[in-house]
Chain A
């Protein structure tokens, strides 16, 4: 029988059984480990995990050590999704053939990847896994940059962000292209469940992860993961930055059921101006120079427009 954890408060949640050890090499203040713990702690079921090459992978499985007290696999940069899909397929085969060692278990199959591994290089592999509707969950640790390799732009990098391959300079404001709408694309696969989550809104996140685990078929999760190193904020401010991301509606929290029904799951009581989110991060520092201030206004308009769009989708139920 599948078992969902009952979680009453944050203390209980944060001290529950760890299958992801604190002994890892991630930066102090990195949101990746917080998100991973929130995903893993949402269930007591056995786990088969994968990570694509990236921060999480290189910081948690450096031979002869491992931070994972669960089955875990890494193959390459682009194929974490397919690694888990392969394992899930083997699970089905051995179940049919009666060769599972612990046939009473109900394992959950989860792949983690950064936005580079997911929005860019592994995009096709994820699309394939979602299209085939493997009984698995794919979680993007979305820090909007190739952080592991030192801060190059990905297709998740937002406009105006200074990345090492789109640096701000005397004649450039940094990244020129808008962030890819991965949630919309995944929704278009008509998978049973897709959701955007944030580590600061842990109750919302656990609810969605548990909903995902209870779903039969492919689940896509996009988790905003504030990156102290590349977003350039103090490591102690990770949750503050995440709060700004959700409360400015830069990262709206919502879910898509069967690719059609949008549900907004968090409506901030006081919506914070986007400017505050941008001002809190070094990657947007140059936008506050006079010649680029118009971009801040455009940022706010884009966020407002997206929020209006999500509400229309939610209301329309189509």
Chain B
């Protein structure tokens, strides 16, 4: 039975989860292997409904755990077709073993990761501790700041991931609830245009090609393991970035929507900048505009591509800035913030480095308010005037009790 196409309005009102589900439908994914978990559940529920209503021709299996979900994705991808899943938090933690296996086996898979705090204490709301937990897993990682981007980045992720020069799985992050459950206007593509962008899956080393049997997931020890890992890292460092830029350019040509590995807002002449991820980018953009009316040249940097980390682009973006605050929505548990470390490392070797200070915020879905950001920009302004970081390098913002600051 042929599947039905869906007629969409030019602008639909979708939350991030439904936007991602629609993108999976339009990409005509061959196998979705998934397990539900808040707040990503609605992605697979949406997809299941599409399947029940004959809008999906591919197979959809609800398995018994997130580990099995990704295991099924790996088997399906090795068999030779387009594969996707979705998860959050504890689910990602459970499947983390298989994330390394998927990337090490060079299998293109798209994982929608709806960011949520890691227990304990148990918490269903958004922070970035799950995203950071798998940052070294060899997956390409994109970050969507709103439902539109959650939709768009899925198409981009498939196209990058499945490219025969790349062959690495990709995560599309979006903030739990803040993006996943907040409906906004989403500019859509019609089904044919959308599928045309990603195209029919082109298999490589597919197990279902019986004329060319392949062995997937071999054993290597000290004799070959290093070379395999080095090659994977090399492809992330040298090939994935240019490919992402190429696909961003193709996507802009098709839709007019422009993406960059490092997104900048009011950064042309900025003296002070907030560097952050997810929905905080949009909050910071509003505050930056307000700060400018108060005479502070404020800007915002949002990281679109977390892996491979766009080292050179971050350097270029921050080279003329005088003070930067790097925001981490995850408890570093005994170290400087994860993103703080990434940015300071990039700027340490740059010709000009701004004054960099780190902030820990929003754990377990705690709001980042405009007032927080006003204070933060003022601190940066103070740093600029003093010519040095006048605050501790790591401050917690928005947490109850006495002020927490370290380093």
Give A contacts to B, CB under 8 Å: 46, 48, 50, 57-58, 61-64, 66, 68-76, 78-79, 82-94, 96-97, 99-102, 105, 107, 124-125, 127-128, 131-132
Residues in chain A near residue B80, CB distance under 8 A: 90, 94
Q: Which of A58, A62, A85, A90 has the most CB of B within 10 A?
A: A90
Residues in chain B near residue A92, CB distance under 8 A: 59
**A-B contact count, CB below 8 Å?**
168
Whether B65 contacts A124 by the Cβ 8 Å rule is yes
Whether A86 contacts B73 by the Cβ 8 Å rule is yes
Q: Does B383 contact A (CB under 8 A)?
A: no
Interface segment among B114-122, B147-155, B207-215, B353-361: the answer is B207-215
Whether B74 contacts A86 by the Cβ 8 Å rule is yes
Chain B, Cβ-Cβ closest to A19: B213
Chain A, Cβ-Cβ closest to B215: A66
Cβ of B44 to closest chain A Cβ, rounded Å: 15
Whether A62 contacts B219 by the Cβ 8 Å rule is yes
Q: Which residue from A58, A86, A101, A107 sits with its C-beta under 8 Å from B75? A: A86
Cβ of B205 to closest chain A Cβ, rounded Å: 10
**Bound Cα distance A57, B201 (Å):** 30
Whether A94 contacts B81 by the Cβ 8 Å rule is yes
Whether A73 contacts B71 by the Cβ 8 Å rule is no
Chain B, Cβ-Cβ closest to A128: B64
Name the interface size band of chain B.
35 or more
Give B contacts to A, CB under 8 Å: 30-31, 33, 57-59, 61, 63-65, 67-68, 71-81, 83, 97-98, 101, 105, 200-201, 203, 206-211, 213-220, 224, 228
Whether A128 contacts B68 by the Cβ 8 Å rule is yes
Residues in chain A near residue B213, CB distance under 8 A: 68-72
Q: Which residue from B71, B78, B208 sits with its C-beta under 8 Å from A100? A: B208
Cβ of A148 to closest chain B Cβ, rounded Å: 11
Whether B207 contacts A89 by the Cβ 8 Å rule is no
Cβ of B169 to closest chain A Cβ, rounded Å: 13
Whether A83 contacts B58 by the Cβ 8 Å rule is no
Whether B214 contacts A90 by the Cβ 8 Å rule is no
Q: Which residue from A66, A73, A93, A101 sits with its C-beta under 8 Å from B78? A: A73
4 cross-chain pairs, A with B, having the tightest CB-CB distances, nearest first? A86-B75, A90-B79, A128-B64, A79-B71
- Known A66-B215, A102-B209, A131-B64; further 4 A-B contacts with Cβ < 8 A: A63-B219, A69-B213, A73-B74, A101-B211
Chain B, Cβ-Cβ closest to A51: B217
Residues in chain A near residue B71, CB distance under 8 A: 75-76, 79, 82-83, 86, 125
**Bound Cα distance A86, B201 (Å):** 17
Cβ of A103 to closest chain B Cβ, rounded Å: 10
**Bound Cα distance A90, B76 (Å):** 5
**Bound Cα distance A101, B206 (Å):** 10
Whether B214 contacts A124 by the Cβ 8 Å rule is no
Given contacts A57-B219, A128-B63, contact A82 B78 (CB under 8 A): no
Cβ of B225 to closest chain A Cβ, rounded Å: 9
Whether B218 contacts A124 by the Cβ 8 Å rule is no
Given contacts A86-B79, A93-B31, contact A61 B68 (CB under 8 A): no
Whether B81 contacts A71 by the Cβ 8 Å rule is no
Whether A85 contacts B75 by the Cβ 8 Å rule is yes
Q: Which of B80, B201, B224 has the most CB of A within 10 A?
A: B80
Cβ of A214 to closest chain B Cβ, rounded Å: 19
Whether A48 contacts B217 by the Cβ 8 Å rule is no
- Name 16 interchain pairs, CB-CB below 8 A, sorted by A: A70-B213, A73-B217, A74-B218, A75-B101, A82-B72, A84-B75, A86-B73, A86-B78, A88-B75, A89-B59, A89-B76, A93-B57, A94-B30, A96-B59, A101-B209, A124-B64
